[in-house]
Structure formats: C-alpha cells, structure tokens
Structure 1
C-alpha cells in the first residue's frame, strides 16, 4: 500500500481539525496504508519563522513530504484563510514537493462563510507545489465535530458522510497513481 503523510497544522492537539484528521488517517490505516502524521506545532518555531529549511527537524519533515506517495493537508480556518503555520511550512518545501502525489485538502472552521477556503485559497498553493492530483477536499464545520473528554470523536452525519466520500476518492487516487510512481521509479 501507499505511504501517506498527513500534515496537521492545528496549533492544538485536541482541536476539531485534529479530530477530523484522525478520522481520515484511521480510515486509511484500516485500508492498509502506511500513514505518518507531521504535527507542525511540534516543529521549532524559530526555523519555521526564519525560513530555515536546513534545520534538522524542518528538513526531516520536508523530506517526509517529498518522499510520500500521497499527502493530506489539514488546516483550521482563521481570518477567512488557511492557517499561517501551514503556509509557513509549505513555503519551506521544495518547489515541486508534491509532484506525482495525490493530495487531500481538509479544513475546519466555525462558519459556512469560509467553505471556499479549500478551493480558492489552499488548492492553488498545493497546485503550485506540483501536486499531480488534488482530490476533492472538504470543509467541516466545527459544530459538526464533538470531541469528548476521553478524546473520542463524534462526527455528525453532515460531516461524516461527505468526509468518508472524499477519503474514498483520495484512496482511489492513490491507487491510480501508485502504478505510475512505480513505473517512473523503475525507468
């Protein structure tokens, strides 16, 4: 199966964005994919803010992205755009870091007014990084996600059904791209 890297850009480990990502990565892992999550909040702030791609932690995270078969990108929506932590990290990736990869963009936010962030703010940045196939993403309203005190997650049907569908489409794209990547590697 494919090696999938999930980029978590929420500043909180208990956020709704993190809960949505866990739902998607859990489904992909259950399907046999090797999924690794990079929590950007765990990277050192100074190198990120100074654009130091040579910092060992930042370089290792970037290497994981460039060597992955597929990438999931998650972000909370702030001020009608994707998070600055994500933008800072994406700016440090090599120009074509997403070339040959399927990419699944996911966002969470408090109002449906921000639903277009996925397609009009995030998708162009991912495409500029050479993403071969940016699959349909999804915006999840925060009110559709409940995180219990024990850490369990409950997505209401308005979130769970479309999230399952975009996850399936992403998995299908990985399956279509894997033979292409294997053929390129042999050549």
Structure 2
C-alpha cells in the first residue's frame, strides 16, 4: 500500500488539530496504508526558524516528506491562514518537495469564515511545492472537537466530522492509483 505522512502544524501540544490529524492517520492506517506522523511543533524551533538544513531533525523531516507517497497537511487557522509553525516547515522544504504526491489539506478553526483559508492560503502553497493532486480539503469547526481534560485528549463529534471521513476514505481509495501514476512518471 501507499505511505502517507500526516503533518500537522499546531503550536499547542494538546490541540484540536492534533486530535483530528491523529484520527485521520488512524483511519488511513485502518485502510491499509503505512502512516507516519509529524507534529511540526516537535522540530527544534531555532533550526526551523533559521532554516538550518544541517540540523538532523530538519533533515529527517525533509526526508520523511520525500519518502512519502502522499501527505495529509493539517493546521489550525490563525488570522485567516494556516499556522506560522506550518509555514516555517513548508518554507524549509525544497521547491518541488511535493512533486508527484497527492495531498489532503485539513484545517481546524472557530469560525466558518475561516474555511476560505483552504483554497486561498494553503492550497496555493501546496500546489507551488509541486503536489500532483491537492484533494478537496476540509475545514473542521472547533465545536466538533470536544476537549476531554481528564484524559488529556479530544473527542470528535461523529455527525459533525462525517464529511471529513468521506473525504479521507476517498483519498485513501485514490492513493494506489496516484502511487502507480507517480511510479510511471
């Protein structure tokens, strides 16, 4: 099966975006794909902000992107765009790091007005990095991701996130074809 890197750019350790990304990763793994997870906040901040390509963690993160057949890119929305943490990571990737890869963008946020960040902020960057196909993304409203403080986790509302799972399942189903096309190229 395909290898998928799930990248999320939330600056918070316990975040709604991280919870959504983890569930997307679990769903892709259940569909038979090899899934790797990368929380950008875990990369060394100084190396990331200074684009220190000699840093082993930065080199490893870039190599993980290169090895993946596809990516899920998730971020909270801040000020009508994806997070600065994610932006810093995307900026250290080589110009065509996503060439030949399918990408599924997922955003989380507190206002339906932020849904536009998918098509006007994140999609253009993913396309400029050479993604062969940027799937229809999905915006998950924060009201559908309920914190469970006692357990240190989040619970996703099944009804509110049902459209996301339809997109994830469609993305998972298209990956073998996308990988075959990538191999042929």
After TM superposition, the score normalised by the length of structure 2 is 0.94
Are positions 1:179 and 2:180 aligned together?
yes
Offset at residue 54 of structure 1 (A): 2.4
Report what 2:144 is aligned to: 144
- What is the Cα-based RMSD across aligned positions, in Å? 1.3
Aligned mates of 1:153, 1:168 — CA distance in 2: 21
Question: For the residues of structure 1 that align with 2:80 and 2:12, how far apart are their CA atoms?
Answer: 19
Q: Which runs of 4+ in 1 moved over 4 A?
A: none
- 1:76 equivalent in alignment to 2:76: yes
Q: CA deviation at 1:66?
A: 1.4
Aligned partner of 2:121 in structure 1 is: 121
TM-score (norm 1): 0.93
Structure 2 residue 27 is the aligned partner of structure 1 residue 27:
yes
8 Å CA contact 1:96–1:129 kept in 2: the answer is: yes
Is the CA contact 2:140–2:161 (under 8 Å) kept in the aligned structure 1? Answer: no
* Offset, 1:79: 1.1
CA distance in 2, matches of 1:157, 1:5: 24
Q: Which runs of 5+ in 1 are unaligned?
A: none
Give aligned pairs, total: 184
Given that 1:65 and 1:97 are in contact with CA atoms closer than 8 Å, whether structure 2 keeps it comes out as yes
Distance 1:76 1:25 in 2: 17
* Partner secondary structure for residue 107 of structure 1: strand
Match of residue 44 from structure 2: 44
Structure 2 gap ranges (5+)? none
Change (3 A) 1:152 1:86: closer
**Secondary structure of 1:100 counterpart:** coil
> What secondary structure, in the 3-state scheme, does the structure 2 residue paired with 1:116 have?
helix
Matched residue, 2:165: 164
Q: Could you list the per-position Cα deviations for residues 21-79 of structure 1 after superposition, in whole angstroms to 9, with x for gaps in the alignment?
A: 11111110111111111111111111111122221100110110012100010101111
- Separation in structure 2 between the aligned mates of residue 170 and residue 134 of structure 1, nearest angstrom: 10
